[in-house]
Structure 1
Amino acid sequence: MKVNGLTQLLDAVAQVFSAGGALSLAEPAFLPRSGQTRMALAVAQAIEECDVLVVEAGTGVGKTYAYLVPALLSGQRVLVSTATKALQDQLFARDLPRLVHGLGLPLRMARLKGRASYLCIERLERVRQGRTAPQDPQVLRTVADVERWARITRTGDLAEMTALDERSPAVPLVTSTKDNCLGSDCPHWQACHVNLARQQALEADVVVVNHHLLFADLDVRDSGMANLLPNTGVVVVDEAHQLNDVGVQFAGEALSSQQLVGYARDALRLTQEHARGMADWLVLCATVEQAMRELRLQAGKPTVGGRLPWQGITPQGVDGAKWRAALVRLGQSLRALLKPLAVMEAMATELQRLYERGVELLARLARFAAPADDDCVRWLEVGAQHLRMLESPLSIARIMQQRLLQRTLDNDVNNESEDHNTSERKAWIFTSATLGNDARLSWFTDSCGLRGAKVLQVESPFDYHHQAGVYVPQPFAAAGSVQHSLQVAQLVLDAAQRIGGRTLVLTTTLKALHAISESLRSALGLFADLDVLVQGEAPKLALIQRFMAAGVSQSPQPRGAILVASATFWEGVDLPGDLLQLVVIDKLPFPPPDDPLVEARSRQLERVGRTAFHDYMIPEAALALKQGAGRLIRSESDRGVLVICDSRLVSMGYGGQLMAALPPMRVLGSLSEFEEALEQLAAARGQGKR
């Protein structure tokens, strides 16, 4: 159903969001919000004008419906990209069906993920037949669970197996990669879950993907996106603040020891099947593995963080002559394996693919043997038994302009010529709750090459001053000191006991995460009325479910919960109501200065006369702080307290800039005010009201 013309689309969108509109009829809890309507109308206009729009929509605006309603009513084919597969599943399984039903639109919807998310029938069969049999009994049990599920699944999406940890070593055994996929020669080609998912996406009116998949076809991966984008009229990038970080991963180069060792082992298996006796394959493949092990040894022991800067020919701290010699030996051994393959590739399709894969790996190795480009950053990741060589651009601005926006729009976003055929163009909508701290949202638009885009900022409808308070404890141990984590743990313990758990602790390092969680558990013992949940001890979803269950327990002696987490828990965690009432951030989330990407971006700014700390570090910390604080207030009825255990927020000159990035919560200026706020939370819950 297409609404013809801008005026008609604007009128239709306004009607949907009105007090008596389709949303109020479909969802009894819906209330018209001026900010949501304003965003929806701006999206409608961008769609009709095939424009690029960047929208920062504060928590509670309802941005999902604000972009979906005009996109669906436009009659255009819609592609929505989210930050994670979990958000992708939520959008596809909950938000879209509700809205499509409420609007009465007969639209076909599809969800498309990368091939690693789908069961590979051929790979599972290989495991079943013992051709790639794992030795670990736990892995075997997991594969058996996958096999039972494989008999009933229609989609092959491993996310259906909620008990399967995506980090399980069983996952790569039952999924495919571009390198080991047999393509059309696979005996299960017609039933392939990846192929079926891509076909459904090509036939759908609305397709939900994730950012990794959106960028995947910029690299050598075959994602299926190349066929989707040209036929899409509207592209929405939700949680767009993650776009640059995801994009630089795919726009760069990577070569790992796992890739090279895996190639050598695949080569031995395939040559034994198709070219046995035609070369000394065992020696050739073993030589590649041995050369890879020698290169790993030259990288030395893993460092804290595991990343070595790589500005010149050799990674920092590595013996240059020995490193280059090992790199040369690895290249020679790989070339020696490819030489007999080159004359035998026509014997079998699998040998042809094997040869092409080896040529690509050799080309990547040659790139890492040469100096990096000036606009790239290179580093080495060193693990206990593996290494990865990585190179990335400092931002995706050029990539967005030249390889994504320009390719699909067939036009530069800043080109306003009237001669372009708008039927070949598409609307791009980028949105998130945190995109910058200035009117241009330059933190996001500069890094993503969107300086010419239209920008809209929609404030959160929440009454933060009434609903939440922010407390910076003073005096407090210096951030990063041994005493700091112990003091954070003590503060958390005292506060969580007052309110019955309902506490999320966000740390900036894994070291702090372990120190705080261990201190809490030591103080509480085994039989306390508070559980301490720790990131890494279970999948993220399982931890959140356990935290929620503790918050709604109706037992005579309910056990509350404290969740101590880092990294991904700073965003994408939605715990409304009484479930979460206290968020504690251990220290200001400045980017790690020894991170190679951070170092390179800092050097780039200083080369042009700017200050890395003020122009890069502070804006990055402000956005991260805003994301973490956003976990606290998720609805109009929420109440809570945010604690930031870093005295620099009030003692340093830049503290005011970081405080300004937070939602406008009331400031709790003393310990007594903090304790009073906690007592009010406990009392309100005890009375059964907010």
Structure 2
Amino acid sequence: MPGQLLAGPVHEAFAPGGVLSRAAEQFRPRAAQTDMALAVARTIEDGGALVVEAGTGVGKTFSYLVPALLSGERVLLSTATKTLQDQLFGRDLPRLIEALGLPVRKALLKGRGSYLCLQRLELARRDATLPDRSAIRALARIEEWSQSTRTGDLAELPGLDERSPLIPLVTSTRENCLGSQCPKFRQCHVNLARREALAADVVVINHHLFFADLAVRESGMAELLPTVRVAIFDEAHQLNETGVQFLGRQLGTGQVLDFARDLLAAGLQLARGLADWQGVAAAVERAARDLRLTVGRRAAGVRLRWADAAPDGVDPGNWRDGLEQLQLASTQAMEALDTVSELAPDFVRLYERAADIAERAERFAGACEPGAVRWVDVGAQLRLVESPLDIAQAVQEKLLKAAPGEDAGSAGETRSRAWIFTSATLGDDERLSWFTEPCGLEAAEVLRVGSPFDYAAQAAVYVPRELARPNDPAHSEQVASLAADAAARLGGRTMVLTTTLRALRTIGEALQRRFDGSGELEILVQGQWPKRRLIERFREGSTAGRPGCVLVASASFWEGVDVPGDALQLVVIDKLPFPPPGDPLVEARAQRLQSQGRSPFNDYFVPEAAVALKQGAGRLIRRESDRGMLVVCDTRLATMGYGRRLLAALPPMRRVATREEFAAVLEELAATRSATTDPALT
């Protein structure tokens, strides 16, 4: 639809009595939603980049899907998580495609780790070292399911814990996939998904898959992206942090141990007696474990700076020797594999993996690339990382600069690709610089669309003044006490969001001590169950005679968690979510700003905290009928100058100043149960 032809049908779709009101019973026209849809339509027609911050409740999914579908263009949709992918593909797209009456073919494409690998399943079946009986039972269930599944998407298998140690044994990675040499290649679920994506009009992917392909050109997007004219990134606030994970260089000792295990299994099964497989694999495994030992005993989750020859606190000589031994063991594995490479494709792929490990070990033994930062993630294994500070250069060079003639239309005219980036939270200034700067989108058109919710009537925010300072050892216990008293009044319906795992443990344990055995409330703590199960139980609340719930969570629960209605009426945030100053990536970004004559605190730390605070607060009000209270247990929000900026970043909730007012609001919430009407807007 050249020119302005797309605006008309889009406007009609959102108008009273339009196709959306006929398709969705509870749809109501909203000016903000229509404004966003028309901006998306204009960008699709004209090309270029559009950045849209759409407040909670706008209905941004329909705002980009309707013009994208009506345009007739080939569309790529990228979301932040596989859960959102499934929602888009399984609910939103089918609903709109049917409503609009369009002959649109859609496809879902995930990363390798989401699909059952038939070859790896066969190897796992022969593996005599499965962890325990539960793993054997799970494998039997997967085998039974493999006979009936068409897609091989493990998300379809009910009851499979996403943390199951069996999943890496029945899925492939870029490293261990045999490609076209695989005996199961014709039935491969990954290749089937890619073929369907190449034939589809709308393809739904996730940010991890997109950036993995930008980094290694392996996921099938190298063929897909050039055929797409419209690319839409939902939950775009995660793009930068997702991108830097993939655009640098990594080497994990866990990856090396996986290689050693696969090397031994293939050698003994396919070429027994032709090389000392046990000795070669043991040398590789020993090199990986010795490298891990150079770091010593550290708490899981520690991120070590690596600005010099070795990470902080690690002996440089031992570190250098560890990398050299890893390189040597990998080279010896290559030599053994070279002697049997003609026997099976497995050995060719293993040789390539050994060469890759040796090359990475050699690179990490040298100096860091200019403009990048290095660190080591410490857990049961080590992960060596060299990362760019942001994705700006990659976006500018690999996305926004289209190849000449790449988007030529049917008449030969060149049409630039349309890039749309949207989220409920993209910054705290008019230009959304928190998002646009690190993503290389300073020249993009920016649109901010406010939420339709009446926050002043629906929600209140309270900053308790009597609490200890955030760095006081007593602070977490006091937060737990406040949350316990409030949750007891509300019958649960409370989510406590923490900024650190230490606070998560302290607050979770304090709440469990108070309520365990009382039958009054059930305390759910991140980590005790899979995330999906925790959210499902929290949503149930006190139904069917079960006690109400308090959910204590950190990190991943600050966003992407949707609990509408009465199940959530109180969100407690323990501290202002500033980036951890000791994190190597945070330090490097701050140092770069300082070298530019800018203020790291005002230009980085405060905007980061503002966005994270908005995301956490966004869990509270999800529908027009919701009512709730936000409590930020950090006195700095009320006493420091930057507190005004952070408060201004929050939705315009009414302010509660005293404990008495706080108690009164809790009583109102306890006494009044809001209607749970779902406006069916995503």
TM-score with structure 1 setting the length: 0.94
Question: How much has 1:659 moved relative to structure 2?
Answer: 0.6
1:506 equivalent in alignment to 2:497: yes
Kindly provide the CA deviation profile for residues 587-614 of structure 1, in whole angstroms up to 9, marking residues without a partner as x.
Answer: 1001111111111111111122222122
Cα deviations across residues 167-213 of structure 1 (Å, max 9, x unaligned)?
A: 11010111111222222232322221111111111111111100001
What is the count of residue pairs matched by the alignment?
A: 675
Question: Is residue 389 from structure 1 mapped to residue 380 from structure 2 by the alignment?
Answer: no
Assess, with a 3 A threshold, how the Cα gap between structure 1 residues 237 and 689 changes in structure 2: closer, same or farther.
closer
1:307 aligns with 2:303: yes
Superposition deviation, residue 543 in structure 1:
0.8
Q: Cα deviations across residues 617-636 of structure 1 (Å, max 9, x unaligned)?
A: 11100000000000111111
Equivalent-residue separation in structure 1 for 2:273 and 2:402 (angstroms): 48
State whether structure 2 residue 10 is matched by structure 1 residue 22: no
Residue 271 (structure 1) shift: 3.6
Matched, 1:621 2:612: no
Shifted more, 630-639 versus 141-150: the winner is 141-150
Distance 2:490 2:388 in 1: 47
The match for 1:269 among 265, 272, 276 is 265
Equivalent residue number for residue 645 of structure 1: 633
Quickly say closer, same or farther: Cα 1:407–1:165, change in 2 above 3 A: farther
Aligned residue in 1 for 2:673: 685
Whole-angstrom CA distance in 2 between matches of 1:339 and 1:133: 27
Summarize the Cα distance change of 1:278–1:57 in structure 2 as closer, same or farther, 3 Å threshold.
same
Q: 1:554 to 1:689 in 2, by over 3 A?
A: farther
Distance in 2 between residues matched to 1:123 and 1:336, nearest whole Å: 25
Q: Provide the C-alpha distance between the structure 1 equivalents of 2:653 and 2:108, rounded to a whole number of angstroms.
A: 38
1:139 aligns with 2:135: yes
Question: Residues 247 and 645 of structure 1: is their aligned pair in 2 closer, same or farther, counting only changes over 3 Å?
Answer: same
Which residue among 562, 566, 591 is the counterpart of 1:578? 566
Equivalent residue runs for 1:71-470 within 5 Å: 71-128=68-125, 130-131=126-127, 133-220=129-216, 222-303=218-299, 305-342=301-338, 344-384=340-380, 386-407=381-402, 423=414, 425-470=416-461
Q: Deviations over 1:462-499 (max 9, x none)?
A: 11111100000111111132211111111111111111
Q: 1:678 deviation in Å? A: 1.1
How far 1:343 moved relative to its partner? 5.4
Equivalent residue, structure 2, for 1:560 = 548
Partner of 2:535: 544
TM-score (norm 2): 0.95
Task: Say which SS state the counterpart of residue 8 (structure 1) adopts.
Answer: coil
In the aligned structure 2, how far is the partner of 1:677 from the partner of 1:410?
61
- Are the aligned partners of 1:437 and 1:443 in contact in 2 as well (CA < 8 Å)? yes
Residues 300 and 210 (structure 1 numbering): CA distance in 2 closer, same or farther, change over 3 Å? same
**2:656 aligns to what?**
668
Q: Tell me the distance in 2 between the aligned counterparts of 1:514 and 1:505.
A: 12
Contact 2:328 2:358 in 1 (8 A): no
Change in 2 beyond 3 A, CA 1:34/1:561: same
Q: Shift of the alpha carbon at 1:276?
A: 4.5
Q: What is the SS of the residue equivalent to 1:488?
A: helix
Shift of the alpha carbon at 1:323? 1.3
Find the aligned partners of 2:118 and 2:301 in 1 and give their Cα distance.
37
Match of 1:490 in 2: 481
Contact 1:55–1:458 (8 Å) recurs in 2? yes
Q: Does the 8 Å CA contact 2:620/2:628 hold for their aligned counterparts?
A: yes
Shift >6 Å, 4+ stretches: 408-412, 686-690
C-alpha distance in 2, partners of 1:313/1:688? 59
Tell me if the contact between 1:312 and 1:372 (Cα under 8 Å) persists in the aligned partners.
Answer: no
Stretch deviating more after TM superposition (167-176 or 398-407): 398-407
The answer to which of 636-645 and 261-270 deviates more is: 261-270
CA distance in structure 1 between the partners assigned to 2:30 and 2:464 by the alignment:
36
Which residue in the other structure is 1:9 paired with? Answer: 6
Which of 524, 542, 549 is the matching residue for 2:515?
Answer: 524
Contact persistence 1:50–1:428 (CA under 8 A)? yes
Secondary structure at the counterpart of residue 5 of structure 2: helix
What is the CA distance between 1:219 and its match in structure 2?
Answer: 2.4
Amino acid at match of 2:513: S
Superposed displacement of residue 62, structure 1: 0.5
Are 2:619 and 1:631 aligned? Answer: yes
Partners of 1:19 and 1:278 in 2: CA distance: 75
* CA RMSD after TM alignment: 2.1
Amino acid corresponding to residue 612 of structure 1 in structure 2: P
Distance (Å, rounded) in 1 between the aligned partners of 2:157 and 2:370: 45
Q: Which of the residues 66, 70, 85 maps onto 2:67? A: 70
SS at match of 1:482: coil
Q: In the TM superposition, what is the alpha-carbon distance from 1:373 to its structure 2 partner?
A: 1.5
Aligned residues of 1:409 and 1:426 also touching (Cα < 8 A): no
Instruction: Report the CA distance between 1:381 and its aligned residue.
Output: 1.6
Please identify, of 252-261 and 13-22, the stretch whose mean Cα deviation from structure 2 is larger.
252-261
Percent of aligned positions with the same letter in both sequences? 56
Q: Deviation of residue 407 (structure 1)?
A: 4.7
Tell me the distance in 1 between the aligned counterparts of 2:158 and 2:649.
Answer: 37
- Asked if 2 retains the 8 angstrom alpha-carbon contact of 1:57 and 1:63, the reply is yes
How far the C-alpha of 1:148 sits from its partner, in A, is: 2.2
C-alpha displacement of 1:135: 3.5
Q: For the residues of structure 1 that align with 2:485 and 2:223, how far apart are their CA atoms?
A: 56
Structure 2 contact 182–345 (Cα < 8 Å) conserved: no
- Quick check: 1:531–1:559 contact (8 Å CA) kept in 2? yes
Contiguous gaps of at least 5 residues in structure 1? 413-419
Q: Deviations over 1:276-295 (max 9, x none)?
A: 44443432332222222222
3-state DSSP of counterpart to 1:106: coil
Does the Cα contact within 8 Å between 2:574 and 2:633 map onto a contact in 1?
yes
Matches of 1:602 and 1:51 in 2, distance apart? 30
How far apart are the structure 2 equivalents of 1:360 and 1:568?
Answer: 32
Greater shift, 64-73 or 181-190, is seen at 181-190
Contact in 2 for aligned 1:344/1:351 (Cα 8 Å): yes
1:180, 1:604 → 2: CA distance? 38
CA positional deviation for 1:500 = 1.4
Deviation at residue 263 of structure 1 after TM alignment? 1.8
- Give 5+ residue unaligned stretches, structure 2: none
Distance 1:124 1:132, change over 3 A: farther
Question: Which whole-Å CA distance do the structure 2 matches of 1:604 and 1:186 have between them?
Answer: 47
How far apart, in 2, do the equivalents of 1:648 and 1:411 lie?
52
The partner residue of 1:38 within 24, 35, 38 is: 35
Q: 1:79–1:206: 8 Å Cα contact kept in structure 2?
A: yes
- The separation in 1 between residues aligned to 2:528 and 2:122, in whole angstroms, is 31
Q: Secondary structure at the match of 2:571?
A: strand
Contact 1:632 1:640 in 2 (8 A): yes
Q: Distance in 2 between matches of 1:541 and 1:285?
A: 38
CA 45–209 in structure 1, closer or farther in 2 if over 3 Å, else same: same
- SS, match of residue 457 in structure 1: strand
Question: 269-278 or 139-148: which moved more?
Answer: 269-278
C-alpha distance in 2 between matches for 1:685 and 1:349: 63
Q: Is this contact kept in 1: 2:565–2:674, CA < 8 A? A: no
Give the CA deviation at 1:264.
2.5
Q: Secondary structure at the match of 2:6?
A: helix
In structure 2, distance between residues paired with 1:406 and 1:364:
30
